[in-house]
Amino acid sequence: MEKFRNPEVPLEERIDALLAELTVDEKLGFLNYRNEGVPRLGIPPYVWWNEALHGLARSGTATVFPQAIAMAATFSPELVGKMGEVIALEGRARHADSVKHGDFGTYKGLTYWSPNVNIFRDPRWGRGQETYGECPYLTGRMGAAFVRGVQGSDPDHLKAATAPKHFAAHSGPEKNRLKFNSRVTEKDLRETYLPAFHACIKAGAQSVMSAYNALNGTPCSVNAGLLNGILRKEWGFIGAVVTDAGAGEALVREHKRFSDYPSAVAEELKNGVDVITDWEEGVREAWKRGLIPESELDRAIRNQLRLKFRLGFFDPPAEAPSCDVIECDEHRALALEAARRSVILLKNANGILPLDFSKLKSVAVIGPNADSREVLMGNYFGTPTRTVTLLEGILAEAPGTCRVIYARGCEPVSPKTEGCAEEQDRIAEAVGAAERAELSILCLGLNPQIEGEAGDAFNSEFAGDKTDLELPGLQKLLLGKIAALGKPVILISVSGSALALPEELADAVIQCFYPGAEGGTALGNVLSGKVNPSGHLPVTFYRSADDLPPFEDYAMQGRTYRFFDGDVLHPFGFGLSYTSFEYCGLAVPAELPVGKGVTAEFLVRNTGTRAGETVVQLYVSAIRPPTRTPLKQLAAVKRIALQPGESQKVELAVEPDSFLLTFEDGSQCLQPGSWRIEIGSDSRTTAAAAEVRFR
């Protein structure tokens, strides 16, 4: 047995042994994300590119969980962790089965280019649906839970590997992402754009993906300050840095940083990249020109191998899970639980919800998203065996005595459905359906063709980004005509981002971020009252895009709940329930030494008549700080379930880092001063507050 294949040998010695076996040409064959095999050593080819944003993606059948932004709406890191465990198990099964059948292609490996922990700073960004929202703390908690769930807790062996992306300060515009320069102050970089990445690294992430854009003039894939300075030297990262697809080629064509590709790829390696995701051949040419020192080549391969060894690629064959685990009942049940917890009740005038379908004779279900399967998926998804649309979920709740009348009403964007018809060709049908029904459920919003990644979304004027926050096409007109009938209207908004919803036209409003394969069942359960809604907004719902700074402006001032103090449609953290909760008795230490965390104690009581879950949110804000700070910052969350009249004592631990002050030069420190501690149901509703002083 070769030394590098002996699992009893220490890891670094195994890496040394394999490096010593490889020729320079074989090492060069490892640099591209499509690693060449080494037949003489029995090493097969390997493709680094795989996706697992909300379930194993793009490789066939898989359990499809709610999109990342919907998972964020659960405010449940433990649920994201369980999803990660499912991804790892299904991914191991898919990988083993693919290798068994000689398939070493894209999306079949164990290195997942997820999670996306960029901050959703502006609701116009099309890829914001892939993120965990606008809050660095929540994003960090969710991202870290994903990392731990996918990779497992064994210090020597990984179930699979994660790659938090896109490092760093990346959130649009999609149209110019290959050449865009994100101008970010050191304060905003440290206070907003980096913390979630740091949380993932502390959780053990074994890979990181660099961003396409430049950061303050230097493209991220050649940004030594980011990759070698912050990531490796400051945070102690020892894993593999991968570039986003085509980033090296973009250095030549879009950034116009280099005259040719070999020069660009050599500079990426020099500045900390280990795996190059490009289609152009140029690595060996860079070597021939003397642009790649062998020390840099060995460093990149060593960082790759460290991850591969921990994945077990060079160990004796081990028993792998059967593909029967993929989309098994247990996994689909977890996806349904996540979908149920992600549904957000935004309005419920006069308690119109939940509906007692047994007392209704007819319900109209209207809208382009009612019977759409694509709005369940979002982007980066697997292939579910069964999907339940919103219409199908409602039909499952309605007994035979309640007729469900379906009408499409309009297209998401286009003014007509049939090519040879006149504009508004389905409006009359929808109005007629609403006239015959006792109430109407309108399923409106966006879809992945309107918002998404450049190249994937087709209907947006901005290559996947939005130009405004309004309902597109004829949707608002349709809603207005139905509302004008004077009958009850329930608006179901399906999207991957915030919209300026015309809530005055509806009696009840529910937000469903792309809810996954079981989304229709989850919505039907909420409408009927089988499930009490408990989702909360991971982003601010603004009244208009006019309230925001220009999309291209990366300064955080005037953005998100942390820095926007104007009127909003709904604040970050908002979400209603069919019951009510009371918070009281908040107690925190009056004084603590600098550097200590805070434990907050209080009582939560269900004061309503239904059992329900609530997400208790704790926020901190500095009192008379010596530098500009966020208006407030989420610092702890806890989801609790209570029966009617039941009370529960809650303890929330606030880590010392929540009290970090970030100065204009990016320096951070803990220092004496007073902080306000608030608890409540969202970022603008304070149920109780107290003050702690650090001495």
Backbone φ, ψ for residue 141 (5° rounding): -65, -45
Per the document, the length of the chain is 695
The secondary structure of residue 32, as a DSSP letter, is: B
Angle at alpha carbon of residue 333, lines to 161 and 610, rounded to 5°: 125
Rg (CA), the chain: 26
Closest to 83 in 3D by CA, of 342, 355, 410: 342
Q: Would residue 468 show up in a list of annotated catalytic residues for this protein? A: no
State how far the Cα of 368 lies from the Cα of 416, in Å rounded to an integer: 12
- Alpha carbon 284 to chain centroid, angstroms: 37
Tell me how far CA of residue 360 lies from CA of 311, 393, 416, 431, 436, in angstroms.
56, 16, 32, 19, 12
Residue 296 burial class via C-beta count within 10 angstroms: exposed 0-12, middle 13-18, buried 19 and up: middle
Instruction: Give the CB-side neighbour count of residue 606, counting CA atoms within 13 A.
Output: 20
* CA gap 203, 197 in Å, rounded: 10
Other CB atoms within a 10 A radius of the CB of residue 124 amount to 23
| Cβ neighbour number for residue 125 with a 10 Å cutoff | 26
CA atoms of 99 and 17, how far apart (whole Å): 25
What is d(CA 64, CA 268) in angstroms, rounded to the nearest whole number?
35
CB atoms under 10 Å from CB of 20, counted, come to 9
d(CA 58, CA 590): 53
In single-letter form, the type of residue at position 421 comes to A
Query: Which residue in the list 244, 274, 278, 465 is annotated as catalytic?
Result: 244
- The residues annotated with a catalytic role in the active site are 244
